[in-house]
Amino acid sequence: MVIRDLAVPVPVIQGGMGVGVSLSRLAGNVAKCGGIGIISTAQIGYQEPEFDANPIESNLKAIGKQIKRAKEIAMGGIVGANIMVATKKYEEYVRAAVKAGADLIISGAGLPTLLPALVEQSKTKIAPIVSSVKSASVICKLWDRKFKRCPDLVVIEGPKAGGHLGFSLEELEEFQEEAYETEIKGILRLIKQYSEKYQYHIPVVVAGGIYDGKDLRHAMELGADGVQVATRFVTTWECDASEAYKQAYVNAKKEDIQIVKSPVGMPGRAIFNEFIRRTQTGEEVKHWKCHQCLEKCNQKDIPYCITDALIHAVEGNLEQGLIFCGANAWRAKKIEHVSEIMEEFAQEFAKI
């Protein structure tokens, strides 16, 4: 897969996972193995000593540190950042990632309308995450009109993804594989028009439920250039989450994986646990301080603090944590090395 001047030997992007699930160790190792490693900037500074007092400064500092460390591990491989549009100080985080030398910025959880302006005069590539022909069309039209440019890459994220989902509860309930594949083909057709207009190939990757070489093959048969994979990389030795977090995946059964309501206002997917049970029964989960994560969050109205819940989970305090995962998390049977997973994808890709 080629993204403008970036050649990607294995067309696998490791999806950004916040809070703290994909940091430098995971991203660096995926990049080292020929894929693209993506750091999630969502509360990336949570391990910084001054995080409680000053989350935004801590996050800005950590973006630089984590990208630098990932690039050292990657030894020339491609490292990018996932920065959600819905986060407070989105523009500052993007600028910090560009300054730190991120090769690519992937932005979802809203449409990244201003992203082209934020990377101007840098080599950083940009990719919106879309989940329908409509959202793909809106962002392409807008960038074309306002910035005379188009995306360097497009990520299509489907309903089987992990974390917050770009679909309503009703859409998730009515999900049909065939309709989704029609949507993917529609997006591919649309992006082809922009490729023709701008005279370079804009690669499109699909995300959500991609677990093995067979899934990569299927995505490429639909016309995609590659895939974005997140859940599969959680159960690796190199993943930045605690061992308890990874074990929760290994132990999860299919029926443990549920759609949950999140204070972010979008549905999310997570492994059912005591924390989810408490929030579903309406029990109030106390939070004492705002960590400045989202642009739109009213402390008084939320059932729990999403930052607290995700930090508890990544640190291994599972009783109080929200364990985000994709629909295929139950397929994990053991902890693997990133190199083994990448080898599996590389072998299938070579056959394709």
Ligand X SMILES: Cc1cc2nc3c(=O)[nH]c(=O)nc-3n(C[C@H](O)[C@H](O)[C@H](O)COP(=O)(O)O)c2cc1C
Residues that bind ligand X (CB under 6 A): 15-18, 21, 40, 42, 82, 84, 108-109, 129, 157, 160-163, 207-210, 228-231, 324-326, 328
Shortest CB 112 distance to ligand X, Å: 11
Residue 77 or 326: the one with the smaller Cβ distance to ligand X is 326
What are the strands, taking DSSP E only, across the chain? Answer: 2-3, 6-7, 12-14, 36-40, 78-82, 104-107, 125-130, 154-157, 163-164, 204-207, 226-229, 257-261, 267-271
Residue 104 or 229: the one with the smaller Cβ distance to ligand X is 229
Tell me the C-alpha distance between 117 and 317, whole Å: 40
Residue 144 or 343: the one with the smaller Cβ distance to ligand X is 343
Shortest CB 164 distance to ligand X, Å: 7
In this structure, how many other beta carbons lie within 10 angstroms of the beta carbon of residue 119?
A: 19
Tell me the C-alpha distance between 240 and 127, whole Å: 24
Is residue 79 within 8 Å of 69, Cβ to Cβ?
A: no
Count, residues in the chain: 352
Shortest CB 59 distance to ligand X, Å: 13
Give the angle subtended at the CA of 342 by the CAs of 42 and 152, to the nearest 5°. 55
Residue 32 or 269: the one with the smaller Cβ distance to ligand X is 269
Shortest CB 121 distance to ligand X, Å: 25
Shortest CB 293 distance to ligand X, Å: 10
Residue 22 or 279: the one with the smaller Cβ distance to ligand X is 22
